[in-house]
Amino acid sequence: MSKAVTAILYAPGTNCHEETAAALERAGLRSELALLGDLLKGEIRLEPYQALVIPGGFSYGDHLGAGRIFAILLGARLRDQLTEFLDSGKPVLGICNGFQILAEAGILPYRRLGERAMALLANQSARFEDRRVRLLVSEQECLWTRDLAGQVLEMPSAHGEGRPLFCDSDSGASPRVVLKYSDENGAPTLHYPENPNGAPDAVAGITDETGLVLGLMPHPERASLAVHESQDGLKLFKNLARWLLA
Amino acid sequence: MAIYSVYVSSRDDAEAHHWLTFFRRHGYEDLKGLVIERVYWLEGNLRPERLLPLLANPVYQTTSSQSMLDPAQGPILEIAYRHAVTDPETPSILEAAHALGEDGLEFARLSKRYQFCGVTRQDALRIAERFLFNKVVERIREPHELVTTLRPTGEPDPVTTVSLAGLSDEELQALSAARSWYAPLSQMRVIQAHERRIGRPHTDAEIEILAQSWSDHCYHTTWKSLGLLKKLSEATARIAHPLVVSAFKDNAGGIEFYEDWVVTIKGETHNFPSSIAPFGGVATKHGGVIRDTLGFGKGAYPIGGTTIMGTLDPAMPENQVPEGALPPQLILSESIRATAYYMNPMGIPMMHAIYRRHPGYAKCLALGHSLGLIPRKYALKDQPRPGDALLLIGGETGRDGIHGATASSASMTQETLAKESAAVQIGHPITERRFTTAIPALRDRGCIRSITDLGAGGISCGAGEMGAETGVALNLDAVPLKDRSLTAWEILLSESQERMLIAVPPEKLDEAERLLDRYEVRHATIGRFTDSHRLEAAWRGQKVVDLKMSFLWGACPIDPIPMAAPKRELAPLRIPEPKTADEWFEAVHRVLRHYHCADQSAAGSRFDSTVQGRTVVGPYGGKNHRMPSGFYLSAPLRGKNYGVITTVAFNPLYGEIDPAGMAKLMIIEAITKAVVAGADYRELALCDNFYTPRVRPEVAWDLTRMVETIADFSKKIGVPFISGKDSSSGTFDSAGVSIEVPPTLAVMAFGRMPDVRRAVTKDFKRPGNKLLLVGHTDSHALSGSVYADSYGQRGDRLFDPGDGKSIRKLWDALVRVHREEGYVSASAIAEGGVFLPVFEAAYGSGWGAQIDLPRIMEDASTGTKSVVPFRNDGLLFGEFIGAALLEVPPGFDASRSFQGIPYVTLGNVTSESRITLIQEGKTIWQEEVSDLAEVWSKPFREVLE
């Protein structure tokens, strides 16, 4: 087991932190549940952690928009710590609500804290969608999907707001897509429900320019244990383990 | 103080789109467009523009200091919380604003402006009042309303006394009705006599407490009068099952799991509120039953839930809906939205989502279960001790839910909808989610002596029950209020959701408060346990309640209930047996299209089934995750292969034929579903939920027979009931007609399995395998079946599953063959007979099946051969509860494995994805599975749209 410790950052309304810890443990990683309130009060700091995972749920009851309050608290009150964390090249993963938080905080797609360039809108169906999805891994450089390009990963997906909308970037940058919803032949698809939220270009997960940050709507931690129908999600956490142990 | 407003509009607004479709579906076809604008009202010395990052994401939202809606496009209604009420979002806005450095913000409110294009203002008002807001807490803002402060304002009414002295029986009854106490005369007389004895008139708070605590909903007067709960708990005691840890005495029941853990179950109905306000009613159904898990022992953790709804036929035209009842389609669709709204944020996986219909469900059935997990050492509560603090945690107390307990105990009439909508609570899952995280932490640090949820009856019931053996003194001024105008009795009775009471040892109070602060759970010490054996409450310097516990819990008169055998008007079935391929085609499609058999994943896929990472087999499985699994399997202990299995049997079509027979079938169905999946019935326990009409002699008779039957049968099979709930008010009075629910019993079986990897799923595994039907069959027993219902017929004779001994013999054989890995896929026969699981297993696997209709069925138990000619449709669609469809390898020796048990070889799995029916070597019907799936997947989806 690695000495490096991964922080699983949670807040009121987060509800996937425990299974995320179980998935990290299965990948051979040590993790700690870090309560956002403890960080805000200065009782703990981000700096001792080697990686950060923001798990799924409905933080702060999705008030004012999914991930909004969490992201505001991160960006306004933990800006220095978070910038230092990101600048020191530590990996970050946002799953489902965690992805929504990274997007609302401006960390994805362009790693600009406080400058939003995307939104995760309500699903095309206007409903929460509990589905099992197939994700085609792209060639895009990303530590979380290293050596997985071309593979199709199966895992559960469960969310009401997961349809990405990107605004045009002045710098000409475009979002780096790592995972795409795909059909049973492994081809990216816009077809519902294989693409459960109507994501344009079938985008299910993106990384930043460093390849260290990954945000995805589906739930790799629910496809990580021996009792799960698929264990494809574990591959992402194993990639983190490989990176942290290297 | 300055007040600012910020208007936010969103592009691509899915919520607006949802409502537009919904309103057009519900009678407002003229509505051409709907736009929603959010308005943030901000009070303080601030610069609102500094808050814009919080109020809008510029990628898809636009802000303005003025409304962006053009009044010429249609009427605009702004819906806001009432002055006296706090918005649920307010604390989130304040916290984030302060994070942004805007400390000048002192208060904030959120309202929503709806613009209705293409309809009149009157229509817009009607739509809004019906669907968009709850008058108890919300209101429509006047366009140019003068606002001086956003802070909640309002003054409570003073406490009054109510003297019953000298009132005649008629006057007592009139007063009980006028005050919405719904207390029967016998109770009013006891209260009148009590007034004489204590020598003072009661306060309004005291009478409200008595009426509520003695309501059928809280006190179960019907069941007590008939001695029913005693029958069930005595049967369970008699079984003395070694796994039972807690039965019928806590908020849920619990059985031993593995490694010093206990799993718990509770099922609760919320029928009345869900009938008059389905969104609020169903949301709080989930909230309430989850709190029963949190309130088990010293706090269990919820790891699974269900939603089970029974309504009128949702396809019914709105003009046929009984006067005063909501359209069933509305109840269905709003209930689905509510389940998603509540369960998904709670992070509790959906185990079973089941929707059924019956012409008696004018007052709908709304049932939810909650499965829990708790360390063995915390599974039993301690008795609170004098000096313990009474800690109220969770949400603030408001006006919502007042008279919920008494109103839901009364029968529902066409006036109820308007009069008692205040009885429906508002649910906020985020509040419950906060303490769901905090309670295990409190428990593990020894801060909980005892814990209970606040549901029906509110603080008075919760505190009164907790302190029944000691006494409790309440300080109502300490109760955090979301509505400043609440008076004492309203604080005591309010059924505001998301609240729990904890008895905290005094030396642990500081630590408990620190922990709750850390998890951002609101808390207040609202009283102390005493040794006075009284329920006391003080408010604004007055003693407003002072009742002896012995009176509160011991003086409720139980009226005797007369019983009389019902006369049922039953007619034998008259259904022509299909002969030609066309007739078979029609018969098969009837069953596949039936509401109870059709694909319900359009609802089920809206509920998270994999959150917590414990789900092994979710509600849907197979290749494409649309095949109904028939059971739910969880692996609660991370890294371990131990499993908890749950199954549900709920069939509203059997009860009116034979309530007691139905009750027995429900037990057998629930257990068989678990057994075929690989559970040993000796490691299962049961949870019952009854729903019966308002009591009259015939109902009392049926109810008693049902309870006696399940008590007796549970003893015969050795599987105990450990938890349950009854609702005896399933009558809807409309335009001079009483519509009664059918005698209803939903049974959940739950239990443990040593290794989840040994579970057997329904989908076919390999072409060439044989299909066996094992267990009793009777091709003439189609009464109560879906097939008969599709002809609008009910019939007169339920399927006889055999006695306890023969059923146990069957289960023993199934358990043994499972242990030998004898079968590779399995289904328990239920609605849709043999045919439905054959189709589902084919659909879930991508394979097909060939069914040879046997000419003669051998009853191996007696060695006799049936001489009565079979009904082929009966063999295919008969609901042989207890029987199992098994897929076995070609070489499987059924005569050895099922010696002494009736079985028949039905056919085999084919590689062609087609179902073929063969008789005497001739194909009498065949159809592609994909075509059948098309038929099966449409009806439920269509009724939702």
Check residues B220 and B812 and name the one with the higher pLDDT.
B812
Residue appearing with tokens 């007052």: B363
Cβ neighbors of B365 (< 8 A, separation 6 or more) are: B269, B271, B308, B309, B310, B311, B356, B652, B691, B730, B741, B744, B746
Position A238, amino acid: K
User: Residue B399 pLDDT more than 90?
Assistant: no
**Both B104 and B228 in a single domain?**
no
Residue at token pair 């009931």: B721
Using an 8 Å Cβ cutoff, are B648 and B352 in contact? yes
The verdict on B94 touching A (C-beta cutoff 8 Å) is no
Q: Which of B141, B159, B188 is the last residue of a domain?
A: B141
Q: What is the pLDDT of residue B455?
A: 82
Q: Using the beta-carbon criterion (under 8 Å), do A63 and B433 form an inter-chain contact?
A: no
Judged by a CB distance cut-off of 8 A, whether residue A28 touches chain B is no
Enclosing domain of residue B115: 3-141
DSSP B397: B
- Torsion of the alpha carbons at B158, B162, B163 and B164, rounded to the nearest 10: 180
pLDDT tens figures, B469-495: 999 999 999 999 987 889 999 999 998
Taking the CA atoms of residue A69, residue A71, residue A77 and residue A82 in that order, the dihedral angle to the nearest 10 degrees is 160
* Tokens linked to B815: 């358990």
Q: What token pair was written down for B459?
A: 């603080």
Q: Is A57 on the interface with B (CB under 8 A)?
A: yes
* β-pair partners for B112: B38, B79
State the pLDDT at residue B169: 97
Q: Is B800 a member of any domain?
A: no
**pLDDT tens for residues B301-313?**
999 999 999 999 9
Domains of chain A: 5-245 (3.40.50.880)
> Is any Cβ of chain B less than 8 angstroms from the Cβ of A221?
yes
Domain count, chain B: 2
With respect to residue B286, please indicate whether it lies within any of the assigned structural domains: yes
Q: Do B308 and B408 sit in the same domain of this protein?
A: yes
Domain-located, residue B837: no
A193 interfaces chain B, CB cutoff of 8 Å: yes
Inside any domain, residue B323: yes
Using N-to-C axis directions, what is the helix angle for B204-213 and B458-466, rounded to 10°? 70
Residues of B in contact with A40 (CB under 8 A): 99
Of B645, B649, B648, B652, nearest in space to B683 by CA: B645
Q: Which residues of A touch B605 (CB under 8 A)?
A: 129-131, 193
Q: Of all helices (H) and strands (E), which one includes residue B229? A: helix B228-239
Residue from the list A26, A76, A158 with its beta carbon closest to the beta carbon of B608:
A158
Chain B residues within an 8 Å CB radius of A35: 518-519
B62 and A CB contact within 8 Å: no
DSSP per-residue string spanning B38-80: EEEEEEES--GGGGHHHH--TTTEEEESS----GGGS-EEEEE
Strands B202-203 and B499-504: unpaired
The nearest CA of chain B is from the CA of A163 a distance in Å of 11
**What is the DSSP code (8-state) at residue B468?**
T
- Chain B residues inside the 8 Å CB shell of A26: 639
What average pLDDT does this structure show over B216-220?
82
| Residue at B736 is within a domain | no
Position A3 scores a pLDDT of 78
- The residue among A53, A125, A227 with the most chain B CBs within 10 A of its CB, best to mutate, is A227
Interface contact B601, partner A, CB < 8 A: no
The pLDDT value given to residue B374: 98
Q: Which one-letter DSSP state was computed for residue B889?
A: -
pLDDT of B860 reads 41
Q: Does B121 touch chain A (CB under 8 A)?
A: no
Task: Say whether B97 sits in a helix, a strand or coil.
Answer: helix
Query: Quick one: B133 and B221 in the same domain?
Result: no
Q: What's residue A117's pLDDT?
A: 95
Q: Residues near A87 by Cβ (< 8 Å), separated by ≥ 6?
A: none
Query: Which of B9, B17, B52, B59 to probe the A interface (max A CBs under 10 A)?
Result: B59
Please judge whether A121 and B12 are an interchain contact, meaning their C-beta atoms are less than 8 angstroms apart: yes
Cα–Cα distance, B422 to B399 (Å, whole number): 8
Q: Does B438 touch chain A (CB under 8 A)?
A: no
The pLDDT score that the predictor gives to residue B920 is: 86
> Which chain A residues contact residue B430 at CB under 8 A?
12-13, 58, 60-63
* CA–CA separation, B107 and A235 (whole Å): 47
Q: Yes or no: say if B632 and B618 are a contact pair by the CB < 8 Å rule.
A: yes
Tell me, what's the ipTM?
A: 0.97
> Would you place residue B131 in the very low, low, confident or very high pLDDT band (cuts 50, 70, 90)?
confident
Q: Chain A contact for B50, CB < 8 A?
A: no
Contact B268/B274 with Cβ under 8 angstroms? Answer: no
> In terms of domains, do B87 and B223 share one?
no
| Mean pLDDT across B24-52 | 93
Asked if A68 lies within 8 A of B437 by C-beta distance, the reply is no
Question: Which residues does chain A have within 8 Å of residue B635's beta carbon, measured at their own beta carbons?
Answer: 225, 227
Is residue B843, in this structure, part of any structural domain at all? Answer: no
The reported pLDDT for the residue numbered B376 is 98
- Distance between CA B768 and CA B908 in Å, rounded? 6
Asked which of B521, B538, B554 is the last residue of a domain, the reply is: B554
Q: Chain B contact for A18, CB < 8 A?
A: yes
Q: Residue B426 above 80 pLDDT? A: no
Given a contact cutoff of 8 angstroms between Cβ atoms, the answer to whether A126 and B18 are in contact is yes
What are the DSSP E strand ranges found in B345-498? 350-357, 365-375, 389-394, 412-413, 450-453, 472-475
In terms of domains, do B335 and B421 share one?
yes
Handedness of CA A97, A103, A107, A109 (dihedral sign): positive
CA distances from residue B573 to A129, B769, B780, B794, B866 in whole angstroms, order as listed: 42, 35, 10, 7, 21
Residue of chain B minimizing CA distance to A129: B606
Cβ contacts (< 8 Å) between A25 and chain B: which residues? 639
Which of A15, A17, A107, A230 best tests the B interface by mutation, with the highest count of B CBs <10 A? A15
Same domain, B122 and B221: no
Strands (E), B710-759: 721-727, 731-734, 737-740, 744-753
**pLDDT tens digits, residue range B676-700?**
999 999 999 999 999 999 999 999 9
**Contacting residues of A for B96, CB less than 8 Å apart:** 64, 68-69, 72-73, 76
On whether any CB of chain A is under 8 Å from the CB of B158, the answer is no
Confidence of residue B405 (pLDDT cuts 50, 70, 90): low
The CATH number covering residue B290 comes to: 3.90.650.10
Min CA distance, A88 vs chain B (Å)? 25
Low-confidence ranges of chain A (pLDDT < 70): 1-2, 169
Cis? peptide before A193, omega within 30° of 0? yes
Tell me, yes or no, whether B117 and B230 share the same domain. no
| CB within 8 Å: B59 and A12 | no
Instruction: Give the residue numbers of A annotated as catalytic, written as ranges.
Output: 96, 219, 221, 229
What is the predicted pLDDT for the residue at B149?
Answer: 83
Residue B584 has pLDDT above 90, yes or no: yes
Decide: B213 and B461 in contact? Cβ < 8 Å. yes
Look at residue B653 and tell me if it is in a domain: no
Chain A to chain B Cβ contacts (< 8 Å): 176
Averaged pLDDT, B368-380: 98
- A119, A156, A224 ranked by CB distance to B59: nearest: A119
Per-residue pLDDT at B868:
60
* Length of chain B counted residue by residue: 945
B620: closest chain A residue by CA: A131
- Which of B23, B50, B86, B92 is best to mutate for the A interface (most A CBs within 10 A)? B92
User: Between β-strands B365-375 and B301-311, what pairing exists: parallel, antiparallel or unpaired?
Assistant: antiparallel
Average pLDDT over residues B439-462: 94
pLDDT of B445 over the 50 cut: yes
Is the residue at B700 inside a domain?
no
Read off the tokens for B584: 């078979």
- DSSP secondary structure letters along B594-660: STTTS--HHHHTTS-SSGGG-EEE-SEETTTT-EE-SSEEE--STT---EEEEEEE--TTTTTT-HH
Do B371 and B486 belong together in one domain? Answer: yes
Q: How far apart are the first and last CA of chain A?
A: 13
- Among B141, B158, B177, which residue terminates a domain? B141
Set of chain B residues whose Cβ sits within 8 Å of the Cβ of A78: none
Mean pLDDT, residues B766-785 taken together:
95
A38 touches chain B (CB under 8 A): yes
> CA-to-CA distance for B906 and B917, rounded, in angstroms?
10
Give the pLDDT score at B863: 47
Rounded to whole angstroms, how far apart are CA atoms B588 and B834? Answer: 11
pLDDT band at B525; cut points 50, 70, 90: very high
Is the predicted pLDDT of residue B523 greater than 70, yes or no? yes
